[in-house]
Amino acid sequence: MISLAVFISGSGSNLQSIINKIEDGSIHAEIKVVVSNNPEAYGLKRAEQHNLHSVVLEHTRFADRQAYERELLRIVRDFKTDYVILAGFMRILSPYFIHEFQNRILNIHPALLPSFPGLHAQAQAADYGVKVAGCTVHFVDEKMDHGPILIQAALPVLPSEDGESLGKRILKWEHKIYPQAISWLAQNRVNLEGRKVIVKNAKTFFLGPADDPVLISPGLEEKFF
Smallest distance from the beta carbon of 202 to ligand GAR, in angstroms? Answer: 22
* Contact status: 134 vs ligand GAR (CB under 6 A): no
Between the alpha carbon of residue 19 and those of residues 4, 35, 151, 182, the distances in Å are: 11, 14, 19, 11
Of 4, 6, 7, 14, the one binding ligand GAR by CB under 6 A: 14
- Is 165 a binder of ligand GAR (CB under 6 A)? no
Handedness of CA 57, 58, 61, 62 (dihedral sign): positive
Residue 188 · residue 196 · CB < 8 Å: no
Pick the catalytic residue: 109, 120, 146, 175? 109
Which residue in 27, 76, 112, 174 binds ligand GAR (CB under 6 A)? Answer: 174
Q: Least distance in Å: CB of 118 to ligand GAR?
A: 7
Using CB under 6 A as the binding rule, the residues of this chain from 193 to 222 that contact ligand GAR are none
Binding mask 42-61 for ligand GAR (x = CB under 6 A): -x------------------
Q: Is 84 in the site for ligand GAR (CB under 6 A)?
A: no
Amino acid, single-letter form, for residue 70:
R
Q: How many residues bind ligand GAR (CB under 6 A)?
A: 15
Residue 144 vs residues 60, 169, 193: alpha-carbon distances, Å: 21, 24, 20
Greatest Cα-to-Cα distance within the chain, rounded to the nearest angstrom: 52
Residue 110 interacts with ligand GAR (CB under 6 A)?
yes
Q: Which of 100, 109, 59 is nearest to 81 (CA)?
A: 100
With CB under 6 A as the contact rule, the residue among 5, 7, 12, 177 that binds ligand GAR is 12
Closest CA to 140 of 132, 149, 152: 149
Asked if 124 contacts 151 with a C-beta cutoff of 8 angstroms, the reply is no
Q: Note if 53 is an active site residue.
A: no
Any idea which residues carry the catalytic annotation? Answer: 109
Residues that bind ligand GAR (CB under 6 A): 8, 10-14, 43, 87-88, 108-110, 121, 171, 174
